[in-house]
Structure 1
């Protein structure tokens, strides 16, 4: 497991599973000859996308950014379609850190699409129960509303199996919420109407930004490279521009949930890489 410190926060990446999604959909209108130079693609035109929660430990609190794809939540057909070659190993990762699921205080859910939210619940015998029974689940009010009342398009990614068992643990917010001093969830819309990012600032020197699916991989650094999956792509572009400019100014670390190559990158004021944390394992199949 890769780990890094940003100010008083410690970040550890857990194994949440892996998917392989269509590269064209992940890069929208960007031509393949451009995006394929920046991110590996297999012979089925799929790119590898991790679904790895980030354990954030700060001020005695243990929080997960998103929850992975879980276990036994997808049908065989869905596994084929989404290229799922590996399901979650979060319990094992926590055990290696001398922790259990009961030690997690909060889930910071950037949004509730299946590849981020399927790890919220688990099977116990024939019943779905909360995977992290002592954790408050934070998400935006708009995202929580659509999760429970999806439209004809979003019902393919907002699943009752991922929310019904945890609805009593959910805490929502409108525009932003400070979880602990310096750690905020900020509603952006864009990828989904309720999509949020996570920003941590500790003094003048230390900052990390999790852009979630506004910038799912390092190859999406270009503000114009929006996903075909985005519900509001123009909003995605404007929000990404805003938060890339801010992060460049702060020389912030950008941390990733999906990237199969980098866990985190740090940019200077010109958007040039000045720091990196690479993932130790990847398959690119």
Structure 2
């Protein structure tokens, strides 16, 4: 199904994305919006990327993508509680800041590590089609009250013109990731909202043998981001064991702690590294 995203005033973005404040990506010269008071967040104490502010930190876009392409410039600042750009963060998985880009139908996901230039974070992102997208900036404030719990700030942007909507795939127990096959060992079983549990994935090669040569990626053997299909809320699955405490799993099985915050359909984006290359698999999970 094809839908057209018109060139409308960006104040109408609220028609596409509910309950978020939008920043005009084409007006790079305007001042940043008023900063929230320290400790304020639109979604309570959880930093899930649905707000551009949390605990006094503000995501301030400098240049958001405005067209399709494989390497579209993106730039933003993180404004700290004192009103100045914040640039020093504790590492999260060996990186000071993680950037995620997601289309609203969950058909596209990209995970990048921006470069700091002065007080501005920059990256080149892929924009494969039109539609409504959201970027997420994840970091841990240095010495902040949040301890090691990452802060996740988000803001939407729109790529105008014709775009093809992609329905969310049904739950599957096995998906392809390049030359690898990744299986969810729980099959298509539903997950329970609000309850701690585990989720296991096994990576196999083209011959069907377990991959024993998984390499550390961001301090772990796999990274997993989870997005709610209705709200695009971001949560993470946490590996049970860091990569620096044991050898790669001999059976190719990657185990994660889970605790889904709410019911609904979710998309899990799993990334793992083999022979220096990062591969990605995506699973739909129903949470009840």
State the TM-score, normalizing by the size of structure 1: 0.27
Q: Is the radius of gyration larger for structure 1 or structure 2? A: 2
Greater share of residues in helix: 1
State the TM-score, normalizing by the size of structure 2: 0.26
Greater share of residues in strand: 2
